[in-house]
Structure 1
Amino acid sequence: MATFEVYGGKPLKGELFPQGAKNEALQVLCATLLTSEPVTIKNIPNIRDVNKLIELLQGLGVEVKRTAPSECTFRASNVDIEYLTTEEFKTKASAIRGSIMVVGPLLARYGKAYAPKPGGDKIGRRRLDTHLLGFQKLGAKFDFNNRENFFSLKGENMRGAYMLLDEASVTGTANILMAAVLTPGRTTIYNAACEPYVQQLCKMLVSMGAKISGIGSNLLTIDGVESLGGCTHTILPDMIEIGSFIGLAAMTASDITIKNVSYSNLGIIPDAFRRMGIQFEVQNDDIHIPAQQHYEIETFIDGSILTIADAPWPGLTPDLLSVFLVVATQAKGSVLIHQKMFESRLFFVDKLIDMGAQIILCDPHRATVIGHDRKLRLRPTVMTSPDIRAGVALLIAALSAEGKSVIHNIEQIDRGYENIDGRLNAIGADIRRLP
């Protein structure tokens, strides 16, 4: 288990270039299984979860050629469907949540698929009902081996269908969408997730020959086609990393410019940070955050305490609430952080309380933060990263605390952030990676 030693309390200054979006990468990589023709994907982030998924595709027989550090060409012309029943596949696929998205493409193209219950962050229940009910609507049948946590699916005679999703699941929408593009007939998905990453997947599939309408809305209509061709696709910059960098700049009173952010795809994220009192300016497609010694949280119009809550797109992504929470600890004012979607994501606040933060954990979903307004700095401490997003929030806290902090289990951070220590050290941080 690797460790960061973080020597904090130093302002940073410089430019940061966001990586390709992790959540988009996991979807579009699986979409390469839908065709036997070459698919080139650019701006692939070099992170653990994405690299593990690429290894999984190679195990399935997908030919992968790396043409540049962040660019690969995939050719799924000799897929070994029986690989999915091997112990090697079960072990590798159960380690990453993105592995579940191979099911839709394989069902559509080969009429069968297998999948272990996927892994990922330990942030509460993350059920797969939306995926499986959607496949059922298309005519697929599935069996779940409770003893081995293993799904078997068959879909030789799938047909397009109307479905109203029980939740606007991003991965569920992507998985069903990929199954529908090669399924005969018309499929209508209502209450579909409409995040930019789902829009990107739709645009990629259309460039491969799929027929999809309603892109960007929560009502998708797909007319199945017989086959898809190759394409070239570029992944968006990661909005979660961009938000993390905005929070980092505020907490450490740093002057940071985040380059090439695809601002139009950030949705409500910039305005949510402005409500926290963080000043920044947009320069072309860059975000410049000047050094701020103080930032003050807004209240609602009637003077009541501000609530920052997650919601399906175009609401605020749940992946950034950990960052908002840690940023609030040094703000002037108070805020209620309401994590609606996951029940265990706020349990990392005990580490921040140990550092001197004033936080009241109301229940598994809500925490009230009373900001210090920098009158009391966070104390360095020893902590363990529980998941990707909490891990980077703890890293931000450690960078703001004067002295040496230690963060264990940084493999969690590496799952979602590419070379985070190297990039932050380049602008003045002092983060040391220990084996």
Structure 2
Amino acid sequence: MKNAFEIIGGKKLKGEIIPQGAKNESLQILSAVLLTEEKVTISNIPDIVDVNKLIELLGDMGVTVERLNDDTYTFEAKNIDQNFFQSDAFKAKGGGLRGSIMIVGPLLARFGKAAIPKPGGDKIGRRRLDTHFLGFEKLGARFNYDTTEEFYNVDASNLQGTYILLDEASVTGTANIVMAAVLAKGTTTIYNAACEPYLQQLCKMLNRMGAKISGIGSNLLTIEGVERLGGTEHRMLPDMIEIGSFIGLAAMTGSEITIKDVQYKELGVIPDVFKRLGIKMELRGDDIFIPEQDHYEIDTFIDGSILTVADAPWPGFTPDLLSIVLVVATQAKGSVLIHQKMFESRLFFVDKLLDMGANIILCDPHRATVIGLDKRIQLRGISMTSPDIRAGVSLLIAALSAKGKSTIYNIEQIERGYQHIDKRLIALGADIKRI
């Protein structure tokens, strides 16, 4: 274990916190720089492992990368080294990074070919890549899978626009297919497209580069292929998962926290879901202010039945925040059923919360019922290991509200998604040590 956090919980926090740039937006936007040989400037890039790895990979391919300041880079993909994709270095680096799948669409579009190692990433059940591949095939790409090397070579010398009905509204799948289609011949229609704010951001950026994409924000995208794309400037949205995490953190620790510059209109139902857990908040300009609260009570449905919080494709509730909702509910008054439809092993971290004294019934791999303790019994600190990014932060929030000392191991998992999280929480008064 390289690194762990030691946390003394039970302290009230206070102050302002600025959310980082959106991790999931970054992986798409950074890949899009490959679509043009002109300079692209991107700001509000989060300084986190997964994003830095992708920036490094772009540099290895031959993209000229320049860091202007902490969160702003310029990228110029003029001379891409095609041989790099057959190298062992690419197989090693690309395989360890789930975001590397996102470079395929732009490479196919611009160069007519691409290669992909089998991607790695989070252990949260199977994450299929079929949606990406089926979309590319419909556009005319041909795949050769080398089973011994676990490596795909893709030939796309003649991409043609077509009608595509996605088998699932995959965000990365939609983004990848959009990037392949912007330079294809003719018109591509994508139905059941994901419509997350991050994807809207990508489409708006591509349009500024000269693409012709209409239907942005809906699940029906129409893309008229163009000859070439030019440079642009782009600023990432703040990370909605971080914003939700901080709302939960404030409630669990009974703290008064202001979350700055949240781009409220892009948060969809997220604030409403936390309000249904009884958390008070007010919008001040574009900041969310959360007052100190000793208790929060979970709403019921109108007929009095138990509240269910389930994930769904946007504009539904994002699966990435369900672990946070689950943790926050442990100290609420009332009960809630958490239904995690998308991933089959995301709820397995509840055993750690049970060890801390939470009242949770794990119904099956997808559902958990939380019976809130109404802060009558404080969670107690324990030693635990973080299984994935989102569970890691949920456990961190639990530890900050718990009595006594907690140790969280495997924090590299947390740092894949949250930049300098310890320093930023210490600035609010949290007692976190890196050991």
Question: Could you tell me the TM-score, scaled by structure 1's length?
Answer: 0.99
| 1:214 lines up with 2:215 in the alignment | yes
What residue is the counterpart of 1:102 in the other structure?
103
CA distance in 1, matches of 2:408, 2:116: 33
Equivalence for 1:407: 408
The residue identity in structure 2 corresponding to 1:219 is: L
What is the correspondence of 1:169-318 to structure 2 with a 5 Å cutoff? 169-318=170-319
CA distance in 2, matches of 1:87, 1:433: 34
Q: CA RMSD in A?
A: 0.6
d(CA) in 2 for partners of 1:80 and 1:168? 33
Q: Report the Cα distance in structure 1 between the residues aligned to 2:408 and 2:120, rounded to whole angstroms.
A: 22
Q: AA paired with 2:239?
A: D
Q: What is the CA-CA distance between 1:424 and the residue it aligns to?
A: 0.3
The offset of 1:256, in angstroms, is: 0.2
- 1:210-255 CA-to-partner distances (Å, cap 9, x unmatched) read 0000000000000111100000000000000000000000000000
CA deviation after TM superposition for structure 1 residue 375, in Å: 0.7
Which string of whole-angstrom CA distances, capped at 9 and with x for unpartnered residues, describes residues 40-62 of structure 1?
A: 00100000000000001001000
CA distance, structure 2, for counterparts of residue 377 and residue 246 of structure 1: 19
1:92 is aligned to: 93
Whole-Å separation in 1 of the counterparts to 2:121 and 2:171: 15
Q: Distance in 1 between matches of 2:427 and 2:4?
A: 19
Counterpart of 2:413, as a letter, is Q
Separation in 1 of the partners of 2:38 and 2:256?
46
Q: Distance in 1 between matches of 2:308 and 2:97?
A: 32
Post-superposition Cα deviations, 1:286-311, rounded to whole Å, max 9, x if no partner, equal 00001111000011111111000000
Q: How many pairs were matched up?
A: 434
Please identify runs of 4+ aligned residues in structure 1 that moved more than 3 A: none
Q: SS state of the match for residue 193, structure 1? A: coil
Aligned letter for 2:143? F
CA drift of 1:122 comes to 0.4
Higher mean alpha-carbon deviation, 253-262 vs 90-99, is at 90-99
> Distance in 2 between the 1:39 and 1:164 partners?
31
Q: CA deviation at 1:403?
A: 1.1
Cα deviation, residue 86, structure 1: 1.2
User: What CA distance in whole angstroms lies between the structure 1 residues aligned with 2:36 and 2:261?
Assistant: 31
The one-letter amino acid paired with 1:316 is: F
SS in 2 for 1:270: helix
- Tell me by how many angstroms 1:337 deviates: 0.3
1:25: which partner in 2? 26
Following superposition, the deviation at residue 146 of structure 1 comes to 3.0
Equivalent runs, 1:30-179 vs 2, <5 Å:
30-179=31-180
State the partner residue of 2:432. Answer: 431
User: Equivalent residue of 1:271, what SS?
Assistant: helix
Question: Following TM superposition, by how much is the alpha carbon of 1:68 offset from its aligned partner in structure 2, in angstroms?
Answer: 1.1
CA distance in 1, matches of 2:397, 2:150: 36
Q: CA deviation at 1:149?
A: 2.3
Give the aligned residue type for 1:334: S
Match of 1:368 in 2: 369
Q: Tell me the SS of whatever aligns to 2:352.
A: helix
Q: Equivalent residue of 2:210, what SS?
A: coil
Structure 1 SS opposite 2:184 = coil
| 1:347 counterpart letter in structure 2 | F
Query: Aligned to 1:66, what secondary structure does the other structure show?
Result: strand
CA distance in 1, matches of 2:82, 2:356: 50
Q: Match of 1:336?
A: 337
Distance 2:132 2:145 in 1: 13
Q: Which amino acid aligns with 1:270?
A: P
* TM-score using structure 2 length: 0.99
For residues 13-60 of structure 1, give each alpha carbon's deviation from its aligned partner in whole angstroms, at most 9, with x where no partner exists.
000000000000100000000000000001000000000000010010
Match of 1:350 in 2: 351
| Distance in 2, Cα, partners of 1:84 & 1:41 | 25
Question: 1:343 deviation in Å?
Answer: 0.5
1:8 matched residue in structure 2: 9
3-state SS, counterpart of residue 24 of structure 1:
helix
Shift of 1:148: 2.8
In 1: Cα distance, 2:324 partner to 2:152 partner: 35
- CA distance in 1: counterparts of 2:325 and 2:95, whole angstroms: 30
CA offset at residue 129 of structure 1? Answer: 0.4
Percent same amino acid among aligned pairs? 71
2:386 paired residue number? 385
Gaps of 5+ in 2: none
CA distance in 1, matches of 2:363, 2:150: 34
Structure 1: 5+ residue stretches without partners: none
Cα drift, residue 94 of structure 1? 1.5
3-state SS in 2 of match to 1:392:
helix
- Which amino acid in structure 1 is aligned with residue 268 of structure 2? G
